[in-house]
């Protein structure tokens, strides 16, 4: 193979968000802070999850959430975004799709168990499992390229700020190396609860997208592999693992769908 020259090393993002954006003070760790009362623990399995949300209304994120909604009619699935106009475009069908069958799927789910909202706070509060699928663009910084993490940081900080209960957080966006450490650092900035109130726990996982443009919908419905990475307790992965167990099966009928 011909010498292609040195690899272009992409540094950790140096494009930072507005320092005044959803600033959360550093947590003061108290003795026993990691002891969670039984009324605020992480969902032990997928059967305990009734609400799923995704922060970020990219086409890739919407396809993923649409397939989850299709596979699990019992779930309330919400796609939330900080961009109100983008949410309006989704709700009004003003998005051009290249994926065959996607328009029909969204039309079928729109009044069933898939919603598009711009109230990110409410979506976070209601969900037990939160996917982060915001756009992570590559931008030129000086003479080099870097990841623009402003939307991702905004999403994590919003979770820290408003989540009243423990959450499973799943990273779907394409992230730079050591994103786990960045996520856990931001989540650790949640202030401890008032004395006597339950603490909140976050389990962070990575679930990258391996689908090909033009066949994403088919690949999502019938994945040949699903990769889940985590650094937390191995038992925390069970709900996400169980979610994917039916993805190669035939979709269940949705009693809330207009065509059911």
SS3 of 67, please?
helix
CATH of the domain at 105: 3.40.50.720
Is 52 contained in some domain? Answer: yes
Q: What is the pLDDT of residue 42?
A: 83
pTM across the whole model:
0.79
Q: What is the pLDDT of residues 24-49, one digit of tens each?
A: 332 332 333 333 334 467 888 899 99
Q: What is the pLDDT of residue 229?
A: 85
Q: What is the pLDDT of residue 98?
A: 74
Q: What is the pLDDT of residue 104?
A: 85
The range of the structural domain enclosing residue 238 comes to: 43-246
Is the CB of residue 133 less than 8 Å from the CB of residue 58? yes
Is 36 contained in some domain? Answer: no
CB-based contacts of 234: which residues, under 8 Å, 6+ apart?
none
Q: Which residue has the tokens 């979709």?
A: 251
Domain count for the chain:
1
Q: What is the pLDDT of residue 174?
A: 74
Is 115 contained in some domain? Answer: yes
**DSSP one-letter string for 90-141:** HHHT-----STTHHHHHHHHTTTTEEEES-HHHHHHH-SEEEE-----EEEE
Is the CB of residue 106 less than 8 Å from the CB of residue 66? yes
Is 54 contained in some domain? Answer: yes
Query: Which residue ranges of the chain lie beneath pLDDT 50?
Result: 1-39
Is 2 contained in some domain? Answer: no
Is 147 contained in some domain? Answer: yes
Buried b (16+ CB within 10 A) or exposed e, 212-249: eeeebbebbbeeeeeeeebebeeebbbbbeebeeebee
Is 5 contained in some domain? Answer: no
Q: What is the pLDDT of residue 97?
A: 81
Q: What is the pLDDT of residue 225?
A: 83
Q: What is the pLDDT of residue 43?
A: 84
Is 69 contained in some domain? Answer: yes
Q: What is the pLDDT of residue 24?
A: 31
Q: What is the pLDDT of residue 90?
A: 93
Q: What is the pLDDT of residue 133?
A: 94
Percent of the chain with pLDDT over 70: 76
């Amino acid at each position: 193979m011909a010498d292609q020259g040195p690899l272009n090393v992409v540094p950790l993002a140096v494009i930072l968000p507005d320092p005044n954006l959803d600033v959360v003070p550093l947590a003061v760790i108290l003795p026993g802070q990691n002891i969670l009362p039984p009324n605020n623990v992480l969902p032990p399995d997928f059967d305990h999850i009734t609400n799923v949300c995704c922060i970020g209304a990219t086409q890739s994120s919407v396809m993923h959430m649409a397939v989850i909604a299709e596979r699990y009619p019992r779930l309330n699935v919400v796609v939330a975004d900080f961009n109100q106009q983008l949410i309006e475009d989704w709700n009004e069908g003003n998005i051009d799709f290249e994926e065959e069958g996607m328009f029909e799927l969204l039309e079928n789910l729109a009044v069933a168990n898939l919603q598009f909202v711009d109230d990110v706070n409410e979506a976070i509060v209601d969900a037990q499992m939160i996917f982060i699928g915001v756009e992570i663009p590559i931008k030129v910084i000086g003479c080099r390229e870097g990841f623009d993490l402003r939307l991702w940081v905004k999403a994590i900080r919003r979770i820290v700020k408003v989540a009243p209960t423990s959450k499973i957080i799943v990273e779907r966006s394409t992230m730079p190396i050591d994103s786990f450490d960045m996520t856990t650092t931001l989540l650790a900035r949640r202030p401890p609860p008032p004395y006597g109130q339950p603490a909140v726990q976050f389990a962070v996982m990575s679930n990258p997208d391996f689908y090909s443009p033009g066949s994403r919908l088919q690949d999502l419905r019938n994945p040949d592999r699903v990769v889940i990475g985590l650094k937390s307790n191995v038992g925390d992965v069970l709900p996400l693992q169980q979610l994917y167990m039916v993805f190669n099966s035939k979709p269940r009928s949705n009693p809330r769908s207009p065509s059911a």
